Amino acid sequence: MSFKIEAADKQTQARAGIFKTSHGIFHTPAFMPVATKGAVKTVSVEELEKIGTEVIIANALHLHIRPGEQRMERAGGLHKFMRWSRPIFTDSGGFQIIRKNFNIKITDSGLNFKDFLNGSPRLYTPELCMDVQKAIGSDIAMLLDDCPRHDAKKRKLNDSIERTIGWAKRGIEHGRKLGIPHIFVIVQGGTDIGLRQWCTEALMQFKPDGYAIGGLSIGESKEDMMKILELSVPHLPQEKPRYLMGVGSSKELLNAIALGIDIFDSTFPTQCARHGTLFSSQGRYNLKGLAGKKEDVPLDEACGCEVCAKYSRAYIHHLLKEKEMLGMRLASIHNLYFILNLVRQSRSAILNGTFDSFRKEMGERLEKNS
Protein backbone atom coordinates (compact mmCIF):
# COMPACT_ATOMS: atom_id res chain seq x y z
CA MET A 1 0.00 0.00 0.00
CA SER A 2 1.11 3.57 -0.70
CA PHE A 3 -0.09 4.86 2.68
CA LYS A 4 1.14 3.44 5.96
CA ILE A 5 0.14 4.52 9.47
CA GLU A 6 3.26 4.59 11.65
CA ALA A 7 1.71 5.62 14.96
CA ALA A 8 -1.68 6.42 16.48
CA ASP A 9 -2.20 8.71 19.44
CA LYS A 10 -3.83 7.06 22.46
CA GLN A 11 -5.67 10.13 23.78
CA THR A 12 -7.01 11.39 20.42
CA GLN A 13 -7.63 10.05 16.92
CA ALA A 14 -4.41 11.61 15.57
CA ARG A 15 -2.19 9.48 13.34
CA ALA A 16 1.32 9.78 11.93
CA GLY A 17 1.87 8.17 8.56
CA ILE A 18 3.86 8.07 5.36
CA PHE A 19 2.62 8.26 1.76
CA LYS A 20 4.81 6.91 -1.04
CA THR A 21 4.69 8.23 -4.62
CA SER A 22 6.93 7.94 -7.67
CA HIS A 23 8.23 11.43 -6.83
CA GLY A 24 9.17 10.53 -3.28
CA ILE A 25 7.41 10.34 0.04
CA PHE A 26 5.61 12.80 2.24
CA HIS A 27 4.93 12.41 5.93
CA THR A 28 1.56 12.89 7.56
CA PRO A 29 0.09 14.93 9.04
CA ALA A 30 0.95 17.03 5.99
CA PHE A 31 0.16 20.58 4.92
CA MET A 32 0.20 21.42 1.20
CA PRO A 33 0.95 24.96 0.02
CA VAL A 34 -1.43 25.82 -2.82
CA ALA A 35 0.06 26.25 -6.30
CA THR A 36 -3.28 26.75 -8.09
CA LYS A 37 -1.83 27.73 -11.46
CA GLY A 38 1.53 26.02 -11.04
CA ALA A 39 3.05 28.43 -8.53
CA VAL A 40 2.60 29.30 -4.86
CA LYS A 41 1.97 33.04 -5.00
CA THR A 42 5.22 35.04 -4.55
CA VAL A 43 7.20 31.97 -3.34
CA SER A 44 9.75 30.11 -5.50
CA VAL A 45 10.22 26.35 -5.69
CA GLU A 46 13.64 26.72 -4.05
CA GLU A 47 12.09 28.63 -1.14
CA LEU A 48 9.39 25.98 -0.75
CA GLU A 49 12.06 23.29 -0.55
CA LYS A 50 14.13 25.30 1.93
CA ILE A 51 11.23 25.62 4.40
CA GLY A 52 10.62 21.87 4.27
CA THR A 53 7.65 21.54 1.91
CA GLU A 54 7.17 17.88 1.00
CA VAL A 55 4.03 18.09 -1.17
CA ILE A 56 2.05 20.80 -2.96
CA ILE A 57 -1.35 20.99 -4.66
CA ALA A 58 -2.25 22.53 -8.03
CA ASN A 59 -5.61 22.92 -9.77
CA ALA A 60 -6.34 20.80 -12.83
CA LEU A 61 -9.15 23.01 -14.15
CA HIS A 62 -7.07 26.19 -14.04
CA LEU A 63 -4.12 24.44 -15.70
CA HIS A 64 -6.42 22.94 -18.34
CA ILE A 65 -7.59 26.43 -19.30
CA ARG A 66 -4.07 27.88 -19.32
CA PRO A 67 -1.45 26.85 -20.32
CA GLY A 68 -3.28 23.63 -21.28
CA GLU A 69 -2.35 20.05 -20.47
CA GLN A 70 -0.77 19.50 -23.90
CA ARG A 71 1.76 22.26 -23.23
CA MET A 72 2.71 20.74 -19.88
CA GLU A 73 2.82 17.22 -21.29
CA ARG A 74 5.30 18.39 -23.95
CA ALA A 75 7.42 19.84 -21.14
CA GLY A 76 7.49 16.47 -19.39
CA GLY A 77 4.60 17.11 -17.00
CA LEU A 78 3.89 19.66 -14.31
CA HIS A 79 6.87 18.58 -12.21
CA LYS A 80 9.38 19.49 -14.93
CA PHE A 81 7.34 22.46 -16.12
CA MET A 82 7.58 24.15 -12.71
CA ARG A 83 10.86 22.48 -11.65
CA TRP A 84 9.33 20.76 -8.62
CA SER A 85 10.64 17.24 -8.02
CA ARG A 86 8.48 16.25 -5.05
CA PRO A 87 4.87 14.93 -4.91
CA ILE A 88 2.00 16.92 -6.40
CA PHE A 89 -1.72 16.64 -5.67
CA THR A 90 -4.08 18.13 -8.22
CA ASP A 91 -7.56 19.30 -7.29
CA SER A 92 -10.22 18.54 -9.87
CA GLY A 93 -11.77 22.00 -10.03
CA GLY A 94 -15.13 21.18 -8.47
CA PHE A 95 -14.69 23.97 -5.92
CA GLN A 96 -14.81 26.49 -8.78
CA ILE A 97 -18.55 25.76 -9.01
CA ILE A 98 -19.17 28.22 -6.19
CA ARG A 99 -16.80 30.85 -7.61
CA LYS A 100 -18.87 33.53 -9.31
CA ASN A 101 -16.17 34.51 -11.80
CA PHE A 102 -16.43 31.08 -13.47
CA ASN A 103 -20.24 31.34 -13.95
CA ILE A 104 -20.51 27.56 -14.21
CA LYS A 105 -23.68 25.72 -15.21
CA ILE A 106 -23.80 22.20 -13.79
CA THR A 107 -25.28 19.28 -15.70
CA ASP A 108 -24.90 15.53 -15.31
CA SER A 109 -22.42 15.68 -18.20
CA GLY A 110 -20.04 17.98 -16.32
CA LEU A 111 -19.25 21.65 -15.86
CA ASN A 112 -20.40 24.02 -18.61
CA PHE A 113 -18.82 27.46 -18.60
CA LYS A 114 -17.34 30.14 -20.81
CA ASP A 115 -13.57 30.31 -21.01
CA PHE A 116 -12.66 33.41 -18.99
CA LEU A 117 -9.80 34.09 -21.41
CA ASN A 118 -11.63 34.12 -24.75
CA GLY A 119 -15.31 33.51 -23.98
CA SER A 120 -15.50 30.18 -25.84
CA PRO A 121 -17.84 27.50 -24.41
CA ARG A 122 -16.21 24.71 -22.40
CA LEU A 123 -17.43 21.34 -21.12
CA TYR A 124 -15.33 19.86 -18.33
CA THR A 125 -16.35 16.25 -17.75
CA PRO A 126 -15.22 13.72 -15.12
CA GLU A 127 -13.31 11.91 -17.87
CA LEU A 128 -11.61 15.07 -19.15
CA CYS A 129 -10.69 15.92 -15.56
CA MET A 130 -8.79 12.62 -15.37
CA ASP A 131 -7.25 13.14 -18.83
CA VAL A 132 -5.84 16.48 -17.68
CA GLN A 133 -4.38 15.07 -14.47
CA LYS A 134 -2.83 12.13 -16.31
CA ALA A 135 -1.28 14.40 -18.93
CA ILE A 136 0.31 16.72 -16.38
CA GLY A 137 1.66 13.81 -14.33
CA SER A 138 -0.21 14.28 -11.07
CA ASP A 139 0.86 11.95 -8.26
CA ILE A 140 -2.53 12.14 -6.53
CA ALA A 141 -5.56 13.09 -8.62
CA MET A 142 -8.88 14.29 -7.23
CA LEU A 143 -12.13 13.20 -8.83
CA LEU A 144 -14.52 15.86 -10.11
CA ASP A 145 -17.18 16.69 -7.52
CA ASP A 146 -20.23 18.94 -7.24
CA CYS A 147 -19.43 21.32 -4.38
CA PRO A 148 -22.59 23.07 -3.10
CA ARG A 149 -22.65 26.39 -1.26
CA HIS A 150 -22.52 26.21 2.53
CA ASP A 151 -26.13 27.44 2.79
CA ALA A 152 -27.54 25.08 0.14
CA LYS A 153 -30.96 23.57 0.82
CA LYS A 154 -31.41 19.83 1.29
CA ARG A 155 -32.70 19.28 -2.25
CA LYS A 156 -29.57 20.89 -3.69
CA LEU A 157 -27.40 18.85 -1.31
CA ASN A 158 -29.11 15.65 -2.46
CA ASP A 159 -28.59 16.58 -6.10
CA SER A 160 -24.92 17.44 -5.52
CA ILE A 161 -24.26 14.12 -3.78
CA GLU A 162 -25.95 12.09 -6.50
CA ARG A 163 -23.93 13.96 -9.11
CA THR A 164 -20.70 13.60 -7.12
CA ILE A 165 -21.25 9.83 -6.86
CA GLY A 166 -22.07 9.51 -10.57
CA TRP A 167 -19.06 11.59 -11.57
CA ALA A 168 -16.84 9.58 -9.21
CA LYS A 169 -17.88 6.32 -10.87
CA ARG A 170 -17.13 7.68 -14.34
CA GLY A 171 -13.92 9.40 -13.27
CA ILE A 172 -12.35 6.55 -11.34
CA GLU A 173 -13.13 4.00 -14.07
CA HIS A 174 -11.49 6.27 -16.63
CA GLY A 175 -8.61 7.20 -14.34
CA ARG A 176 -7.79 3.56 -13.62
CA LYS A 177 -7.70 2.83 -17.36
CA LEU A 178 -5.29 5.73 -17.83
CA GLY A 179 -3.02 4.39 -15.10
CA ILE A 180 -3.21 7.36 -12.74
CA PRO A 181 -1.28 6.13 -9.68
CA HIS A 182 -3.47 7.48 -6.86
CA ILE A 183 -7.06 8.73 -7.01
CA PHE A 184 -8.99 10.39 -4.16
CA VAL A 185 -12.76 10.81 -3.92
CA ILE A 186 -14.33 13.94 -2.39
CA VAL A 187 -17.11 13.54 0.17
CA GLN A 188 -19.88 16.18 0.03
CA GLY A 189 -23.07 16.73 2.02
CA GLY A 190 -22.82 20.21 3.50
CA THR A 191 -23.44 20.31 7.24
CA ASP A 192 -25.87 17.37 7.14
CA ILE A 193 -24.10 14.39 8.71
CA GLY A 194 -26.68 11.93 7.37
CA LEU A 195 -26.03 13.05 3.80
CA ARG A 196 -22.28 12.92 4.34
CA GLN A 197 -22.56 9.36 5.63
CA TRP A 198 -24.61 8.38 2.58
CA CYS A 199 -22.06 10.00 0.26
CA THR A 200 -19.15 8.29 2.04
CA GLU A 201 -20.74 4.83 1.87
CA ALA A 202 -21.55 5.25 -1.82
CA LEU A 203 -18.01 6.39 -2.65
CA MET A 204 -16.41 3.52 -0.73
CA GLN A 205 -17.64 1.05 -3.35
CA PHE A 206 -15.16 2.54 -5.84
CA LYS A 207 -12.18 1.63 -3.60
CA PRO A 208 -10.33 4.96 -3.94
CA ASP A 209 -6.81 5.51 -2.65
CA GLY A 210 -7.91 8.23 -0.25
CA TYR A 211 -10.82 10.33 0.95
CA ALA A 212 -11.10 14.11 0.84
CA ILE A 213 -13.66 15.94 2.94
CA GLY A 214 -14.97 18.74 0.75
CA GLY A 215 -17.59 21.44 1.13
CA LEU A 216 -16.30 22.71 4.49
CA SER A 217 -14.53 25.95 5.43
CA ILE A 218 -16.56 27.74 2.75
CA GLY A 219 -18.73 29.96 4.94
CA GLU A 220 -20.16 27.79 7.70
CA SER A 221 -19.16 28.49 11.30
CA LYS A 222 -16.00 26.94 12.72
CA GLU A 223 -18.16 25.18 15.29
CA ASP A 224 -20.28 23.56 12.56
CA MET A 225 -17.17 22.54 10.65
CA MET A 226 -15.57 20.83 13.64
CA LYS A 227 -18.84 19.12 14.57
CA ILE A 228 -19.21 17.71 11.05
CA LEU A 229 -15.60 16.55 11.10
CA GLU A 230 -16.02 14.85 14.46
CA LEU A 231 -19.06 12.94 13.18
CA SER A 232 -17.73 12.27 9.66
CA VAL A 233 -14.22 10.92 10.21
CA PRO A 234 -15.29 7.70 12.00
CA HIS A 235 -17.15 6.64 8.85
CA LEU A 236 -13.99 6.83 6.72
CA PRO A 237 -11.83 3.71 6.28
CA GLN A 238 -9.14 3.58 8.95
CA GLU A 239 -6.40 2.43 6.59
CA LYS A 240 -6.87 5.18 3.97
CA PRO A 241 -5.54 8.76 4.11
CA ARG A 242 -8.01 11.50 5.01
CA TYR A 243 -7.71 14.94 3.49
CA LEU A 244 -9.52 18.04 4.78
CA MET A 245 -9.72 20.53 1.95
CA GLY A 246 -9.21 24.25 2.43
CA VAL A 247 -8.23 24.49 6.11
CA GLY A 248 -5.00 26.27 7.07
CA SER A 249 -5.49 28.12 10.37
CA SER A 250 -3.43 26.91 13.30
CA LYS A 251 -6.15 26.08 15.81
CA GLU A 252 -8.46 24.31 13.34
CA LEU A 253 -5.53 22.38 11.93
CA LEU A 254 -4.51 21.08 15.37
CA ASN A 255 -8.08 20.13 16.24
CA ALA A 256 -8.59 18.40 12.90
CA ILE A 257 -5.39 16.39 13.38
CA ALA A 258 -6.80 15.30 16.75
CA LEU A 259 -9.92 14.04 14.94
CA GLY A 260 -7.84 11.90 12.58
CA ILE A 261 -7.20 14.11 9.54
CA ASP A 262 -3.93 13.39 7.72
CA ILE A 263 -3.63 15.99 4.94
CA PHE A 264 -4.50 19.68 4.62
CA ASP A 265 -4.25 22.46 2.05
CA SER A 266 -5.16 26.12 2.12
CA THR A 267 -4.32 29.49 0.61
CA PHE A 268 -5.00 31.01 4.04
CA PRO A 269 -1.34 31.38 5.17
CA THR A 270 -0.25 33.15 1.98
CA GLN A 271 -3.42 35.24 1.65
CA CYS A 272 -2.97 36.43 5.22
CA ALA A 273 0.68 37.22 4.56
CA ARG A 274 -0.04 39.36 1.50
CA HIS A 275 -2.50 41.41 3.56
CA GLY A 276 -0.13 41.85 6.49
CA THR A 277 -1.45 39.20 8.89
CA LEU A 278 1.40 37.18 10.37
CA PHE A 279 1.33 33.84 12.18
CA SER A 280 3.23 33.48 15.44
CA SER A 281 3.60 31.21 18.44
CA GLN A 282 1.43 33.70 20.35
CA GLY A 283 -1.34 33.85 17.75
CA ARG A 284 -1.98 35.88 14.60
CA TYR A 285 -1.44 39.62 14.43
CA ASN A 286 -1.79 42.33 11.79
CA LEU A 287 1.62 43.85 11.19
CA LYS A 288 0.17 46.82 9.30
CA GLY A 289 -1.96 47.72 12.29
CA LEU A 290 0.84 47.49 14.82
CA ALA A 291 3.41 50.07 15.75
CA GLY A 292 5.59 47.54 13.95
CA LYS A 293 7.71 50.20 12.36
CA LYS A 294 9.29 50.72 15.81
CA GLU A 295 10.04 47.07 16.53
CA ASP A 296 13.51 45.80 15.74
CA VAL A 297 12.50 42.20 16.54
CA PRO A 298 11.61 39.19 14.33
CA LEU A 299 8.07 38.48 13.17
CA ASP A 300 8.05 35.72 15.80
CA GLU A 301 10.91 35.42 18.27
CA ALA A 302 10.26 31.67 18.65
CA CYS A 303 10.37 31.02 14.88
CA GLY A 304 13.25 29.26 13.13
CA CYS A 305 12.65 30.49 9.58
CA GLU A 306 15.27 32.48 7.64
CA VAL A 307 12.96 35.48 7.46
CA CYS A 308 12.88 35.75 11.25
CA ALA A 309 16.63 35.16 11.41
CA LYS A 310 17.43 38.01 9.00
CA TYR A 311 14.69 40.64 8.99
CA SER A 312 12.88 42.75 11.56
CA ARG A 313 9.20 43.52 11.97
CA ALA A 314 10.06 47.14 11.30
CA TYR A 315 11.54 46.36 7.88
CA ILE A 316 8.72 44.04 6.77
CA HIS A 317 6.17 46.54 8.13
CA HIS A 318 7.78 49.17 5.90
CA LEU A 319 7.74 46.88 2.84
CA LEU A 320 4.08 45.98 3.29
CA LYS A 321 3.09 49.62 3.82
CA GLU A 322 4.85 50.48 0.57
CA LYS A 323 3.23 47.47 -1.17
CA GLU A 324 6.66 46.13 -2.06
CA MET A 325 6.53 42.57 -3.44
CA LEU A 326 9.46 41.59 -1.23
CA GLY A 327 7.35 42.25 1.85
CA MET A 328 4.63 39.91 0.59
CA ARG A 329 7.23 37.26 -0.25
CA LEU A 330 8.94 37.40 3.13
CA ALA A 331 5.62 37.33 4.99
CA SER A 332 4.40 34.40 2.86
CA ILE A 333 7.59 32.39 3.46
CA HIS A 334 7.28 33.01 7.21
CA ASN A 335 3.59 32.02 7.40
CA LEU A 336 4.14 28.87 5.36
CA TYR A 337 7.13 27.91 7.49
CA PHE A 338 5.07 28.44 10.64
CA ILE A 339 2.25 26.13 9.47
CA LEU A 340 4.63 23.50 8.08
CA ASN A 341 6.59 23.54 11.32
CA LEU A 342 3.39 23.26 13.37
CA VAL A 343 2.48 20.14 11.39
CA ARG A 344 6.00 18.73 11.83
CA GLN A 345 5.79 19.33 15.57
CA SER A 346 2.38 17.65 15.64
CA ARG A 347 3.78 14.61 13.87
CA SER A 348 6.70 14.37 16.31
CA ALA A 349 4.30 14.65 19.24
CA ILE A 350 2.15 11.82 17.83
CA LEU A 351 5.22 9.62 17.44
CA ASN A 352 6.30 10.47 21.00
CA GLY A 353 2.85 9.93 22.49
CA THR A 354 2.53 13.56 23.61
CA PHE A 355 0.22 15.04 20.96
CA ASP A 356 -2.75 15.76 23.23
CA SER A 357 -0.67 17.81 25.67
CA PHE A 358 1.12 19.53 22.75
CA ARG A 359 -2.22 20.44 21.15
CA LYS A 360 -3.63 21.83 24.39
CA GLU A 361 -0.51 23.85 25.14
CA MET A 362 -0.36 25.31 21.63
CA GLY A 363 -4.12 25.86 21.62
CA GLU A 364 -3.94 27.97 24.76
CA ARG A 365 -1.24 30.16 23.23
CA LEU A 366 -3.05 30.52 19.92
CA GLU A 367 -6.55 30.87 21.38
CA LYS A 368 -6.74 34.64 21.55
CA ASN A 369 -6.16 35.38 17.88
CA SER A 370 -6.29 32.17 15.84
What whole-number percentage of the chain has pLDDT above 70? 96
Q: Are 143 and 161 contacting, i.e. CB atoms less than 8 angstroms apart? A: no
**What pLDDT score was predicted for residue 115?**
84
Q: Is the pLDDT of residue 291 over 70?
A: no
Q: Are 339 and 253 contacting, i.e. CB atoms less than 8 angstroms apart? A: yes
Rg for the chain, CA atoms, rounded? 20
**184-201 confidence digits (pLDDT tens):** 999 999 999 999 999 999
3-state secondary structure of 319: helix
Q: Is the pLDDT of residue 367 over 80?
A: no
The CATH number assigned to the domain with range 33-221 reads 3.20.20.105
Mean per-residue pLDDT over the chain, rounded: 95
Predicted TM-score (pTM) of the model is 0.96
Closest CA to 185 of 270, 243, 239, 135: 243
Catalytically annotated residues? 91, 265
**What pLDDT score was predicted for residue 233?**
97
Domain boundaries, the chain: 33-221, 236-370
Amino acid at 348: S
The total number of residues shown for the chain amounts to: 370
Q: How far is CA 18 from CA 6, 25, 54, 237, in A?
A: 7, 7, 11, 16
**218-246 confidence digits (pLDDT tens):** 989 999 999 999 999 999 999 999 999 99
**What pLDDT score was predicted for residue 116?**
77
Mean pLDDT for the stretch of residues 277-306: 88
The reply to whether 236-370 shares the fold of 33-221 is yes
The CATH number assigned to the domain with range 236-370 reads 3.20.20.105
